[in-house]
Structure 1
Amino acid sequence: MTLRTVLDTHIGQATSDGAGVRLTRVFGGPGPERFDPFLMLDEFGSDNPDEYIAGFPAHPHRGFETVTYMLEGRMRHEDHMGNVGLLGAGGVQWMTAARGVIHSEMPEQEEGVMRGFQLWLNLPAKAKLGPAGYRDIPPAEIPRVRLEGGVEVVVIAGQLRASGVEQAGAVQRPDTEPLYLDLHLPAGGAVAPAVADGHRVLLYVYEGSLSLEGHPQPVPAGRLLRLSEQGEVRLGSEAGAKVLLIAGRPLGEPIMQYGPFVMNSREEIEQAMRDFRAGTLTEG
């Protein structure tokens, strides 16, 4: 048996985005090739309305997909295509910006907790100028599987294979073939989800403490692990943990990012900026 090893560990950085929403940038920015096909992961969570109430007013995207997973709170999405969606606790919003989307994400609450994650997933060059798309996925449409030992798995994307159980997630995507699992391990729980060899694997511990077989020390909350691309992933927790497992097939293409635009070359970025200024970002 070959185990995946930890290539590096990351601690998120406090920042703000949108109109001043406080969040933790788990990864994103310099060196995106290390996380290919993933570009960024943000964690947001606060019970102080001043830290989220201004939301994310209308802004553009091109060249990738955004996946918003809400743990607590309510967020309203509106976009140039006429889509309006309310993202609530346990729900997912999957948006394919492709050629271009202009959208807003605004809190649908004035108090209480707002908590969740937004993941940016790259698109291959052949799809970056394709049609945009949007899907709201309510909790009832997202499989939630209970495995032996009391481990619960929310299967957002891809295919869960663990403990003799196979379960397709709510979303299947070509090219990058993302696997997105929210793993809830009780005290003493263990799980070994299968991940295809050659795929990038990221683990983000957002509650509790995680043990990774072959890794000498427990991993506390707030840590992201980037694993090697071959072997098994065996996880456990003495006191309990909640962990995002995010995996996908690397595209191996050049990554050029400028703010909300992610393309393959500087020329394509400059074209995106010209299109946005001319009001033609979403046309095509």
Structure 2
Amino acid sequence: MTTRRLQQIIRAAPTSDGAGVKLRRSLGQAPGLRLDPFLMLDEFSSENAEDYIAGFPSHPHRGFETVTYMLEGHMLHEDHLGHRGELKSGGAQWMTAGRGIIHSEMPQQQSGRLHGFQLWINLPAREKMKPASYRDIAPEEIPTVELDSGGTARVVAGILRLDTGATTGPITGISTDPLFLHVELPAGSRFEHELPDGHNAFIYVYDGRVAIEDAGENRSLAAHEAGLLGKGNRLQVAASEDGPAAFLLLAARPLNEPVVQYGPFVMNTREEIEQAINDYQNGVLA
């Protein structure tokens, strides 16, 4: 087996989105900072309601998928097709925007911590204009696996492959074959995982520090850093001896297609972007 090396580090940059929600953006903070098919990863985390209470009022999307994973807090999703979803601590929502959706994501709390992530995954050209769809995932639907190291791994999408066996998450059957794991490790412990050789993969650390191990060479990642991984079929991660660590492990099959993005629209050509804008302005996005 070939172990994946840490190839590039992207430090998450503070920014805001929606109606002023404060967040940290790693992938997607610039057009060149993507990893096919991943377009963007945001982390929102605050105990100050002023940082999140204005939420994400009604806005459109076309051409990709959004994955929202909530560690703490409560958000309400509503859209122009009549869908309503409650996203609470430990739950997730997988939304395929397809040909178009206009939705809002609004906090349902006046105080306390709101902490979670939103990931954007590109759709292949043949699927960009398919109807919008959703999967609201309750916390109890996400398998949690106890690791030999004493840590845990939650499987939001794909298959967790360990030497002791495989665990399948609630999201499967997507053309990019995504893997979405949430891993927590005690200080000094290790996590090893098999990855499909042709998939692109990265780690986003949100707490503590980890080292990516390869043939005795260790490169570390700190909190709020995304680490893009090289080719291979095995990943080895170790938490720092100084304290516990927590991270997301994300992998998917690359599309190898042109990406043209204009705000909430992601297509393959400029002409398709112009059509999306016209459709939205004329009320026929979906």
Same fold (TM > 0.5): yes
Matching residue's letter, 1:271: Q
Cα deviation for residue 27 of structure 1 reads 1.5
Q: Encode CA deviations 1:132-160: one digit per residue, 9 max, x unaligned.
A: 00121010111111121212000000000
Q: Encode CA deviations 1:153-194: one digit per residue, 9 max, x unaligned.
A: 000000000132200011014221000000111122211111
Equivalent in the alignment of 2:262: 258
Matching residue's letter, 2:16: S
Cα deviation for residue 217 of structure 1 reads 3.6
Matched, 1:63 2:76: no
Q: Encode CA deviations 1:78-98: one digit per residue, 9 max, x unaligned.
A: 011211111000000110000
Equivalent in the alignment of 1:272: 276
Cα deviation for residue 2 of structure 1 reads 2.3
Equivalent in the alignment of 2:228: 226
Equivalent in the alignment of 1:195: 195
Confirm or deny: 8 A CA contact 2:197 2:231 kept in the other structure: yes
3-state DSSP class of the match of 2:78? strand
Equivalent in the alignment of 1:12: 12
Equivalent in the alignment of 1:3: 3
TM-score, normalised to structure 2's length?
A: 0.96
Matching residue's letter, 2:223: A
Equivalent in the alignment of 1:123: 123
Matching residue's letter, 2:236: R
C-alpha distance in structure 2 between counterparts of 1:3 and 1:233, whole Å: 6
Confirm or deny: 8 A CA contact 1:163 1:191 kept in the other structure: no
Confirm or deny: 8 A CA contact 2:27 2:34 kept in the other structure: no
Confirm or deny: 8 A CA contact 2:5 2:212 kept in the other structure: no
3-state DSSP class of the match of 1:156? strand
Matching residue's letter, 2:228: R
Cα deviation for residue 70 of structure 1 reads 0.3
Q: How many residues align?
A: 282
3-state DSSP class of the match of 1:272? helix
Equivalent in the alignment of 1:145: 145
User: Percent of aligned pairs with the same residue?
Assistant: 52
Q: Encode CA deviations 1:241-277: one digit per residue, 9 max, x unaligned.
A: 1010000000000000000000000000000000000
Q: Encode CA deviations 1:92-117: one digit per residue, 9 max, x unaligned.
A: 01100000000000000011111100
Alignment counterpart, residue 247 of structure 2, candidates 233, 243, 248? 243
Q: Encode CA deviations 1:48-85: one digit per residue, 9 max, x unaligned.
A: 11110000000000000000000111000001121111
Unaligned runs of 5+ residues in structure 1 are none
Cα deviation for residue 32 of structure 1 reads 5.0
Residues 89, 150 of structure 1: alpha-carbon distance in 2 compared, 3 angstrom cutoff: same
Confirm or deny: 8 A CA contact 2:21 2:52 kept in the other structure: yes
C-alpha distance in structure 1 between counterparts of 2:108 and 2:237, whole Å: 36
Matching residue's letter, 1:213: E
3-state DSSP class of the match of 2:274? helix
Residues 55, 176 of structure 1: alpha-carbon distance in 2 compared, 3 angstrom cutoff: same
Matching residue's letter, 2:140: A
Cα deviation for residue 229 of structure 1 reads 2.1
Unaligned runs of 5+ residues in structure 2 are none
Equivalent in the alignment of 1:91: 91
Equivalent in the alignment of 1:110: 110
Equivalent in the alignment of 1:81: 81
Cα deviation for residue 34 of structure 1 reads 4.4
Q: Encode CA deviations 1:190-228: one digit per residue, 9 max, x unaligned.
A: 111111001101001111111211243432111110011
RMSD value, Cα: 1.2
Cα deviation for residue 33 of structure 1 reads 7.6
C-alpha distance in structure 1 between counterparts of 2:15 and 2:31, whole Å: 18
Matching residue's letter, 1:224: A
C-alpha distance in structure 1 between counterparts of 2:167 and 2:141, whole Å: 13
Cα deviation for residue 28 of structure 1 reads 0.2
C-alpha distance in structure 1 between counterparts of 2:254 and 2:29, whole Å: 17
Matching residue's letter, 1:4: R
